[in-house]
């Protein structure tokens, strides 16, 4: 594709003379700009992909995929058995009841979400089983609860301690309406990795929950866990058609705006950060333009010796292209390496400068997630190469317009 003479001219162009030192500076800035642009794009895309995957995994593992709530009529045992027999092993169907409460401890109050589950069913939730860090699920009996790690730290309690919990609903007493309070023993502590969940959720035994909120068994909700959460729409429509008097919604409905915002943010970040590569590419254009201007006499001599316009153009094109190509390769290497060790780098910077770079209460996760995908790396590399190709081609065309007679007229 490229002849020996074209390659020799390219090598000569990449090694400018001492008096042309500014061309080295321009080439260096072009190289560094494209390299950093590619690396930053890969890092940002990997973190954004990691955020989406981590949050999806934890949200789907911690929350049910489909929730059925009573609307015009209560959910009776007949409907529960109908779902069980219809789907059999396709789904995990559990009875639940959720409500809000307040934890009272050491003259402090903390609002929490109570999730009531049956003991025999909670053992089937794999995500919760895998994230118990203290205590055992087998101890999840009546009068015992499971709390999150962050909540346990804030309250200063451990497994075996008792905490006073006050219901948000009022119950009738001889002295009037009052909030119900009860002491519950901590049977286990979980750590989901989601700061918000670990700080605000307490698991109750279902019978304790109904008693605590003064509800009966007909007022429960049904929660469904699917083997493939991505098929949630199909199951949701089928269940809704079984009984139009129930309110059926899925994890996709609840988190639709959240994941849409993540997607928009990811796309906007990609567009903004590509400007780094585009700006760096302008350095290639300016560098080649100056180089061609300084090489006018040499180009005229080569043309006089019989070198074609096409060869001249190809040699200058190859000069700019090689700068962009190797900058892209180095950028990919830097970006991939940084993405793999991003959590270790964060910890080092946090310790070295005593900074909280990734606050749990803001980003919901305990560590910076990163997920490298071949598709992202290839698309970013391809985009960089395309920009480099265009930036190298445009000034190279001007080299073919130099006329030997006019260029050597005053020599």
In the prediction, which pLDDT does 176 show? 55
In the prediction, which pLDDT does 334 show? 92
pLDDT higher than 60, residue 341: yes
In the prediction, which pLDDT does 336 show? 92
User: pLDDT tens digit string along 1-11?
Assistant: 666 766 676 77
Residue 97, strand partner residues: 116
Inter-residue contact 109 to 154 (CB < 8 Å): no
Tokens for 393, please give them: 């081609």
Look at 315 and 184; give whichever has higher pLDDT: 184
pLDDT higher than 60, residue 217: yes
User: pLDDT tens digit string along 259-308?
Assistant: 777 777 778 877 877 887 888 788 788 877 777 777 777 767 766 766 77
In the prediction, which pLDDT does 329 show? 93
pLDDT higher than 60, residue 362: no
In the prediction, which pLDDT does 174 show? 59
Q: Please state, in angstroms and rounded to a whole number, the distance separating the CA atoms of residues 370 and 347.
A: 15
Look at 5 and 135; give whichever has higher pLDDT: 135
Which helix (H) or strand (E) segment is 68 a member of? strand 66-70
Give the list of residues 6+ apart from residue 103 with CB closer than 8 angstroms, or none: 109, 110, 111, 112, 151, 155, 163, 164, 165, 166, 202
Inter-residue contact 198 to 172 (CB < 8 Å): no
DSSP H helices in 202-255: 206-212, 232-242, 251-254
Average pLDDT taken over every residue of the chain = 80
Look at 98 and 401; give whichever has higher pLDDT: 98
pLDDT higher than 80, residue 257: no
Maximum average pLDDT range among 33-37, 70-74, 329-333, 338-342: 329-333
Look at 119 and 189; give whichever has higher pLDDT: 189
Q: Please state, in angstroms and rounded to a whole number, the distance separating the CA atoms of residues 134 and 109.
A: 24
Kind of pairing, strands 108-117 and 201-205? parallel
In the prediction, which pLDDT does 309 show? 74
Q: What number of H helices and E strands is found in the chain?
A: 17, 10
pTM above 0.85, yes or no: no
pLDDT higher than 90, residue 342: no
Q: How is the chain split into domains, by residue range?
A: 4-57+258-407, 76-219
User: pLDDT tens digit string along 27-51?
Assistant: 788 888 888 888 988 988 888 888 7
Look at 203 and 257; give whichever has higher pLDDT: 203
């Amino acid at each position: 594709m490229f002849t020996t003479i074209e390659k020799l001219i390219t090598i000569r162009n990449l090694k400018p003379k001492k008096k042309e030192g500014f061309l080295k500076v321009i080439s260096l800035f072009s190289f560094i700009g494209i390299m950093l642009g590619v690396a930053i794009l890969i890092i940002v895309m990997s973190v954004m992909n990691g955020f989406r995957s981590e949050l999806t995994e934890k949200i789907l593992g911690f929350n049910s995929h489909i929730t059925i709530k009573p609307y015009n009529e209560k959910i009776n045992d007949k409907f529960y058995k109908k779902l069980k027999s219809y789907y059999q092993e396709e789904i995990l169907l559990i009875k639940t009841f959720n409500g809000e409460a307040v934890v009272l401890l050491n003259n402090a109050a903390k609002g929490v979400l109570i999730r009531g589950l049956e003991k025999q069913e909670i053992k089937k939730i794999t995500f919760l089983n895998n994230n118990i860090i203290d205590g055992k699920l087998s101890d999840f009996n009546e009068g015992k609860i499971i709390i999150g790690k962050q909540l346990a730290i804030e309250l200063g309690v451990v497994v075996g301690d008792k905490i006073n919990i006050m219901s948000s609903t009022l119950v009738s007493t001889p002295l009037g309406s009052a909030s119900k309070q009860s002491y519950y023993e901590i049977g286990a502590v979980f750590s989901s990795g989601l700061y918000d969940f670990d700080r605000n959720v307490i698991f109750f035994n279902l019978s304790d929950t109904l008693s605590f909120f003064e509800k009966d068994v007909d007022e429960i909700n049904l929660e469904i866990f699917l083997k493939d959460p991505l098929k949630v729409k199909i199951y949701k429509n089928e269940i809704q058609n079984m009984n139009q008097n129930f309110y059926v919604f899925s994890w996709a409905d609840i988190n639709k705006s959240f994941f849409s915002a993540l997607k928009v943010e990811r796309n906007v970040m990609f567009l903004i950060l590509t400007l780094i590569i585009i700006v760096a590419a302008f350095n290639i254009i300016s560098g080649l333009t100056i180089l061609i201007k300084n090489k006018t006499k040499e180009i005229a001599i080569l043309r006089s010796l019989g070198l074609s316009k096409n060869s001249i153009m190809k040699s200058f094109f190859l000069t700019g292209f090689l700068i962009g190509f190797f900058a892209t390769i180095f950028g990919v290497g830097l970006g991939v390496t940084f993405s793999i060790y991003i959590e270790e780098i964060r910890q080092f910077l946090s310790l070295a400068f005593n900074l909280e770079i990734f606050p749990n209460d803001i980003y919901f996760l305990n560590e910076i997630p990163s997920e490298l995908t071949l598709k992202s790396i290839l698309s970013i590399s391809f985009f960089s190469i395309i920009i480099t190709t265009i930036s190298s081609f445009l000034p190279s065309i001007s080299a073919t317009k130099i006329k030997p007679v006019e260029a050597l007229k005053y020599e």
